A and B are shown apart, each in its own frame.
Chain A
Amino acid sequence: MNRFLSGTRVAFTWAAFNTVLASVLAGFTASGTEGSANPAGAEAFVIYASSAALTFLVALAIWAGRRRVRGISEPPHPASMVILAVGVAMAWTSLAFGAWAAYLATPVVLAALIYEFYPRIRP
């Protein structure tokens, strides 16, 4: 068991657990609900099945990353992350304050993207 259980297998096992539980819901959906006649179970099942599929995607990503690259490196310019976060936050305030906030946010997000990718194009 010590050798058998890898990171990938943990992720896939967990995805399998989710699939089993979602399938049980499908069985209950057929029997109906209380109170009113609603296709409540169908909606719940769709959401659950989507999440179970997502857990498989996560497991797939873990599997795809199995060629480990060890060692350490100092990542370049973390500031682009902060600028991106500020831009996205500004964009969301447009829901409260109006579209002009989104217009203000656009150059900020662009600046973050430029700061992130420009050094790679032109090192």
Chain B
Amino acid sequence: MTAPVKAAAYPSPADEDRDGLAQWLLSTDHKRIGLLTIGTSLVMFLFNGALALTMRSQLAQPEMHVLSPQQYLQFVTMHGTGMIALTITPLAIGLGVYLVPLQVGAPRIAAPRSTLLGYWLYALGALLLIGGFVTPTGGADSSWWGYTPLSNSIYSPGYGQSLWTGGVFLVACGAILQGATTLWTALRMRAPHVTMLRVPVFTWTSIVTSLMVLAGFPALLLAMGEIAAERIDPHAFAGNGWNVLYENLFWFYGHPVVYVMFFPFVGCVAEALATFTGRRYFAYRGTVLALLVFAAGSMSVWGHHMFATGQQVNDYFSLTSIMLAVPAGVEYFGFLGTLWGGRLRYTTSMLFALAFIPQFLIGGLTGILIANPALDYQLNNSYFIVAHFHYTLFAGSVTGFFAGFYLWFPKATGYLLSERLGKLHWLLMVTGANATFIPFFFLGYDGMPRWVATYPASSGFGTPSLIASIGAGIIGLSFCVLIWNVYGSVRAKAPAGDNPWQAHTLEWATSSPPPRFNFDLTHPVPRVHSYAPLFDLRQQARQRKQETERGQRTGRREPPGKDEA
């Protein structure tokens, strides 16, 4: 039922795109669009990180005046929306845009122009969000939640909140488009013999991420529509039912988005673990099932953000939230199973993968704690929650991202990064993350609420806050090391070769960076028998070599090894 592949369809190297800014910004090559998305996200990371460092300066001691209360609320709003919508979500989705076609042996992504449109909606949405800061009334200041009626035009007059509404809407549309094209590529454009159960773990994480984007992000579009309506005519929406509706719509997106910001980095960690233990990823099928169950489960828990509101069916959401421990535990079975019996190579990528496992677990276990309404009544909207989600998102997802970054940077650019600087980056980041966020657990437990520009000296919050602020500074240093490493690598241009890590998946079978249509005559798509095709090929080659040697010694010729179906 499929059209025959034209052998002449693969272009020669002379057909590759010209370079130049316009060609990058208008590219229909998923690799360029992916790198644009990831690159923009990393710039956003620095911007939102600078906001965080300023906030931590303000909060390092009681009653400081680094930021006015007005500025603080603008900073915390931008930091939250910026990190979630402009940084980690596009990093997650952008990784999929780059890697999925390569990993499934496809020459391109589905609907490349829609993928490009997705990038531009994200970039322009970011412009709108940041643009609020340069307006006379300043940026949005209702937190990244934007709860009504605080975010309507009565309580938040001014340009910033309106620009925020539009910006969030546009960015969400961009994410939906890129999620859709990535999903289509993975489900419909795999190379022959790449069945679903031969798809790499990272691509599976991208599949479930895209499914959640499509199922959950439309609710955010509706929520932004509600804010827009309430900014045009707030009095028409005076009933409290509208406020509760907003919460339900917002969190219906707001929970899946944190899993969108999680699964692709689980994929990064999985690929790193398999590569640097020298094994196929362990318990692959259990992992695939767990991913599908976990992603579906993540759609069912949003009410746990509303436990203290008195407006939600708390028992149901406690049940579904605690239930997530089962697929999460199965994921961990895969991590530990891959490690156990492996021959570990402690590259920078592997160090980040190893740090991810316990660090994310702290976030996950504290998540189970707050899945109990009786505990959440105390901990909700306190620094305990801030600690929990910074552990999952920063000590977890971002750490997992760097496992992928140090793994795939050579593939995407063709250059190696310095391992020495990479390990320094790792050391500073792990130290800084734990130093920053562990004190937050104690602050929240002891009564420090969220969104406070300062706190009184009598509260006793000063010392943990100071430790946290020092930790934040260490994180900032770690990013300086990263930037230095990338800059030095691009200057040194140490060639990486096709597969510097002896990794297992199809992207490593092509050149670094890959050619315009991913595979070409010098780097064809190899025959795929499992989710670790290059591992299989190496194993087969080794077996053939052994058989040939045996044959030479006995004087007989062994039949060639049979291919698995």
Contact = CB atoms under 8 A, between A and B. Distances in A.
A21 B299 CA distance: 9
Given A2-B195, A67-B2, A8 B187 contact: yes
Contacts of A48: 252, 299-300
A79 interface: yes
Contacts of B320: 21, 24
A68 B312 contact: no
A121 interface: no
Interface string B103-127: 0000110001110110011011101
Given A10-B292, A14-B211, A93 B166 contact: yes
Q: With a 10 A CB-CB cut-off, give which of B6, B120, B184, B316 has the most chain A CB atoms.
A: B316
B128 A44 contact: no
B188 A68 contact: yes
A78 B198 CA distance: 33
A82 B121 contact: no
A54 interface: yes
A86 B124 contact: yes
Nearest to A7: B187
Given A40-B311, A92-B128, A21 B27 contact: no
B166 A47 contact: no
A22 interface: yes
Contacts of B316: 24-25, 28-29, 41
A17 to B, nearest CB: 3
Interface in A18-70: 18, 21-22, 24-25, 28-29, 31-36, 38, 40-41, 43-44, 47-48, 51-52, 54-55, 58, 62, 65-70
A7 B170 contact: no
B281 interface: no
A87 B399 CA distance: 37
Interface residues of A, number: 63
B120 A21 contact: no
A68 to B, nearest CB: 5
A3 B311 contact: no
B215 A54 contact: yes
Interface stretch (B39-47, B241-249, B472-480): B241-249
B169 interface: yes
Given A48-B299, A81-B117, A82-B120, A68 B189 contact: yes
A34 B317 CA distance: 13
Q: How many of chain B's residues touch chain A, expressed as a range? A: 35 or more
B279 to A, nearest CB: 20
A11 interface: yes
A22 B219 CA distance: 16
Contacts of B166: 89, 92-93, 95-96
A44 B320 CA distance: 14
A18 B215 contact: yes
Contacts of B27: 78
Nearest to B530: A2
Contacts of B123: 85
Contacts of A93: 128, 163, 166
Contacts of A43: 244-245, 248
A33 B311 contact: yes
A72 B184 contact: no
B25 interface: yes
B6 A71 contact: yes
A123 interface: no
A68 B311 contact: no
A25 B300 contact: yes
B170 A41 contact: no
Contact of A69 (B3, B214, B314): B3
A54 B314 contact: no
B211 A97 contact: no
Contact of B170 (A5, A38, A72, A89): A89
Interface string A92-120: 11011100000000000000000000000
Contact of A75 (B113, B135, B186, B373): B113
A11 B9 CA distance: 30
Interface string B35-75: 00000000000000000000000000000000000000000
B197 interface: yes
Nearest to A58: B214
B541 interface: no
B117 A13 contact: no
Contacts of B124: 85-86, 88-89
Contacts of A18: 215, 296, 299-300
Nearest to A3: B195
A21 B9 contact: no
Nearest to B163: A96
A14 B517 CA distance: 31
B310 interface: yes
25 contacts: A1-B197, A5-B195, A5-B197, A7-B196, A14-B295, A14-B296, A21-B297, A33-B311, A38-B310, A51-B216, A51-B218, A54-B214, A72-B517, A75-B28, A78-B112, A79-B26, A81-B113, A81-B114, A82-B26, A85-B124, A89-B124, A92-B128, A96-B159, A96-B166, A97-B159
Q: Which 8 residue pairs of A and B lie closest in terms of their CB atoms, listed nearest first?
A: A35-B310, A92-B166, A7-B187, A17-B296, A96-B162, A85-B120, A28-B316, A89-B124
Interface of B: 1-3, 5-6, 9-11, 25-28, 107-108, 112-114, 116-117, 120-121, 123-125, 127-128, 135, 159-160, 162-163, 165-167, 169-170, 183-184, 186-190, 195-198, 207-208, 211, 214-216, 218-219, 228, 231-232, 244-245, 248-249, 252, 285, 292-293, 295-297, 299-300, 303, 309-316, 320, 373, 517
Interface of A: 1-3, 5-8, 10-11, 13-14, 17-18, 21-22, 24-25, 28-29, 31-36, 38, 40-41, 43-44, 47-48, 51-52, 54-55, 58, 62, 65-72, 74-75, 78-82, 84-86, 88-89, 92-93, 95-97
